Structure 1
Amino acid sequence: MADDTSNARGTAGFLLEMGMLKRAKRSGWWIAGVKDPETIAEHSFRVALIASVLAMMEGADPAKAALLGLWHDTQETRVGDIPHIGRRYLEAASNEQVTADQVSAAHPAVQEGAQRIVDEYENGDSLEVIVAREADKLECLLQAVEYREQGCANVQPWIDSSLAKLKTASAQALAEAALNMTSVEWQKTYLR
């Protein structure tokens, strides 16, 4: 029983730690001049959704792609959201090591599952991994388009770099479509 209680506390502790993602802002947007950027959790939610959509379009497993996308930034509770320019000056632990530490007191099945998911995202090459990584880039592009619409003129480098990293035809098509519409154009779909 003590082991069950310990595993439950360790697992609950991990889940409470993930609440940090709801409060932690994506810091790269501050560089672009965004005063109140999205949180890491807000980013991760749309990454998971985009990953599932891209997987559907590319013939991959949408549930697996979404799972990979959902977990891709969970390490940022411990290391923060280091902007790309900041990574040049820092040597951080690998995402796999951070995840191992995060779940070290969790239920053994949670430890194994979390480590497997993060390892696959970081090192895998399946179609699900590819679309999950592309979803991360596409979400950044979509967010930049929204911030640009709100008057932040310095987001073009985020759009350009995200667009350049997209490899699948589906992600490229969605990016091009998003770049040629407004963020509220979706409201017109009910009129069709």
Structure 2
Amino acid sequence: MRTKASPPISHLSGKAALPLIEAYFEFNHLKQLYRQGWLRVGISPERCESVAEHSLGVALLCLFIADSWFPEADASKVVRIALLHDLGEARVGDITPHDGVNPTQKHALERQAVAQILGKLPRGAEYLALWEEYEQGASFEAKLVRQVDRLEMSLQACVYEHQGFGDLSQFFASAEKVMESPQLRAVLTELQALRPPRAAAP
């Protein structure tokens, strides 16, 4: 698992710290952790986004999308889920389908990691429940975040294509598989039309 640096939490080993500080040193690793799928297709480490950057993109898109297009959604809940959805990667890394880890095992590893990180906080159980809700797709808000997660990936793929990193069609195809909302499908369709001609060619 390629990272920019080792997990910051290691610097607190053997030291007493407030739960909030410990939690920060845990999730700070998301800033060090490359999105492994981009590295796999040749995005250079210097240009490769971190998991934290992806999570910020998802959270902002969720805010804008929930507020603008889905009045029936609890926008605050959507954003909270978006902020938490990749938290387990701070401990287990960015496991991709190419890593050969089955989904059940991946879920178990990430759930344990999220429980350990959030267990330090007074409302940790509440946050863990939101993370689990996302994993299970147990609410309208969770399903919306799952779609926006893939939409953000497609948007980033389009940016990388314009920066000269070649045809990233596989990421658009991955997004297509989970896009249920007509509004979000329309965004993805428009995004496809904005891809560089060489990358978008069949």
Q: Does 1:10 align with 2:23?
A: no
Is residue 138 from structure 1 mapped to residue 151 from structure 2 by the alignment?
yes
Q: Deviations over 1:100-145 (max 9, x none)?
A: 11123x2332x22221221211124322111111110100110111
**C-alpha distance in 2, partners of 1:177/1:62?**
24
Secondary structure, aligned partner of 2:56: helix
Distance (Å, rounded) in 1 between the aligned partners of 2:85 and 2:137: 13
Shift in CA distance, 166/89, structure 1 to aligned 2, threshold 3 Å: closer
Cα displacement (A) at 1:176: 1.4
Deviation at 1:182, TM superposition (A): 6.3
- Which of 166, 179, 185 aligns to 2:192? It is 179
The answer to whether structure 1 residue 42 and structure 2 residue 57 are counterparts is: no
Segments of 5+ residues of structure 2 without an aligned counterpart are 1-15, 197-202
CA distance in 2, matches of 1:152, 1:46: 20
Residue-by-residue CA offset, 1:62-105 (whole Å, 9 max, x unaligned): 2211111111101111010122211447944343222111123x
Which residue number corresponds to residue 95 of structure 1?
A: 110
For residues 84 and 78 of structure 2, the distance between their equivalents in structure 1, rounded to whole angstroms, comes to 10
Task: State the Cα RMSD in Å.
Answer: 2.1
Between Structure 1 and Structure 2, the one with more helix by share is 1
The structure with higher relative contact order (CA 8 Å, sep 6+) is 1
The question of 1:78 aligning with 2:91 is answered: yes
- Residue 58 of structure 1 corresponds to 70
Matching residue of 1:162? 175
- In the superposition, relative to structure 1, how do residues 86 and 154 fare at CA in structure 2: closer, same or farther (>3 Å)? farther
Partner of 2:136: 123
- AA matched with 1:107: L
Residue 3 of structure 1 corresponds to which residue in structure 2? Answer: none
* Alpha-carbon distance in 2 for matches of 1:120, 1:89: 20
8 Å contact kept, 2:51–2:86 = yes
Where does the alignment leave 5 or more consecutive residues of structure 1 unmatched? 1-5, 184-192
The CA deviation at 1:9 is 1.5
Give SS of 2:95's match: coil
Corresponding residue pairs, total? 175
**Conserved in 2, the CA contact under 8 Å of 1:54 and 1:131?**
no
For residues 167 and 42 of structure 2, the distance between their equivalents in structure 1, rounded to whole angstroms, comes to 7
CA distance in 2, matches of 1:68, 1:107: 16
- 1:68 matched to 2:81? The reply is yes
Give the SS at the match of 1:125.
coil
After the TM superposition, which parts of structure 1 deviate over 3 Å for at least 4 consecutive aligned residues?
87-92
| TM-score (structure 1 length as normaliser) | 0.82
